[in-house]
């Protein structure tokens, strides 16, 4: 639906703070996304739309809501908004209300942190930039990832950003920590929530009898270790389908 915030491509409801009278870019026409959404609904497909700016997220939510209302008999669609980065506070509850998944990448928050306030201003950045806590508190499903190759493929750096809202390299800064996840929520966003978003939660996403034994063994307990040790964590073993695929 739009581009990225750093390049002034995110589609905003109001002008950029550092580029007045410019609200970003709508990269795919709204009517084209509407047509794709209808095709998905008619053919039982899962829709995933890239939206970064608050205008882009609102437009996608509007499109999805329209389709849901037109086909009330179709349930558990698990349509997703990819990135869900900057959301107007009025639209945050709509994710849970509509059952739309916020498919975000924690590492983007801290990678973008040095310029977000410049682009959006203090209030918009505080209330709606990477608002994971607000989304979770409203009942939304929030997934996690790295967006590789845009970011490094390692999930540990993204997990660190998710639970600390801090950059792991200079300049060290904390980006509105009131929106960070707990350790347990961060782990869930990388495991069960991703499986759920792929309709695979019966097979993956948690350690339960009967599920695929897809397991990673780490040198640190991410739920309890000091936050500075998260980035020192090493992968000791990976098990896929019950078979050891890597061992340090």
Tens-digit pLDDT profile for residues 57-86: 999 999 999 999 999 999 999 999 999 999
Q: Which structural domain range is residue 229 located in?
A: 212-248
Helix (H, G, I), strand (E, B) or coil at 244: strand
Distance CA 167, CA 150 (A): 16
Rg (CA), the chain: 19
Q: What pLDDT is attached to residue 168?
A: 78
Distance CA 14, CA 93 (A): 20
Phi, psi of 33 (to 5 degrees): -65, -35
- Residues 224, 188: one domain? no
- Residues 181, 227: one domain? no
Q: How far is CA 90 from CA 94, 100, 104, 125, 127, in A?
A: 8, 15, 19, 14, 10
Average pLDDT over all residues of the chain: 96
Query: How big is the chain, counted in residues?
Result: 248
- Residues 198, 216: one domain? no
Tokens of 248: 């340090």
Give burial (CB, 10 Å; 0-12/13-18/19+) of 221: exposed
- Whether 200 maps to a domain, the answer reads yes
- Residues 103, 84: one domain? yes
Residue 189: is its pLDDT beyond 70? yes
Give the residue from 188, 204, 220 where a domain finishes.
Answer: 204
Q: What pLDDT is attached to residue 171?
A: 67
Rounded to two decimals, what is the model's pTM?
A: 0.96
User: For 79, left (φ over 0), alpha (ψ -120 to 50), or beta?
Assistant: beta
CATH number, residue 107: 3.20.20.140
Distance CA 221, CA 80 (A): 30
Q: What pLDDT is attached to residue 170?
A: 73
- Whether 198 maps to a domain, the answer reads yes
């Amino acid at each position: 639906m739009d581009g990225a915030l750093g390049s002034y491509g995110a589609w905003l409801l109001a002008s950029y703070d550092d580029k007045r009278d410019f609200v970003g870019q709508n990269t795919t026409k709204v009517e084209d996304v509407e047509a794709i959404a209808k095709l998905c609904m008619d053919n039982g497909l899962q829709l995933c739309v890239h939206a970064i700016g608050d205008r882009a997220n609102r437009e996608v939510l509007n499109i999805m809501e329209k389709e849901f209302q037109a086909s009330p008999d179709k349930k558990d669609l698990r349509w997703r908004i990819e990135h869900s980065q900057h959301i107007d506070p009025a639209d945050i509850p709509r994710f849970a209300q509509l059952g739309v998944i916020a498919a975000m990448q924690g590492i983007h928050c801290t990678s973008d942190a040095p310029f977000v306030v410049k682009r959006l201003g203090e209030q918009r950045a505080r209330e709606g930039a990477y608002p994971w806590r607000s989304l979770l508190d409203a009942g939304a499903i929030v997934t996690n990832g790295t967006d590789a190759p845009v970011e490094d493929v390692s999930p540990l750096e993204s997990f660190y950003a998710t639970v600390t809202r801090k950059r792991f390299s200079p300049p060290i800064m904390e980006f509105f920590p009131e929106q960070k996840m707990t350790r347990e929520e961060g782990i869930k966003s990388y495991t069960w929530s991703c499986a759920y978003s792929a309709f695979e939660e019966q097979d993956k996403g948690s350690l339960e009898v009967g599920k695929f034994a897809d397991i990673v063994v780490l040198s640190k307990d991410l739920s309890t270790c000091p936050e500075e040790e998260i980035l020192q964590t090493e992968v000791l073993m990976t098990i896929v389908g019950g078979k050891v695929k890597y061992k340090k």
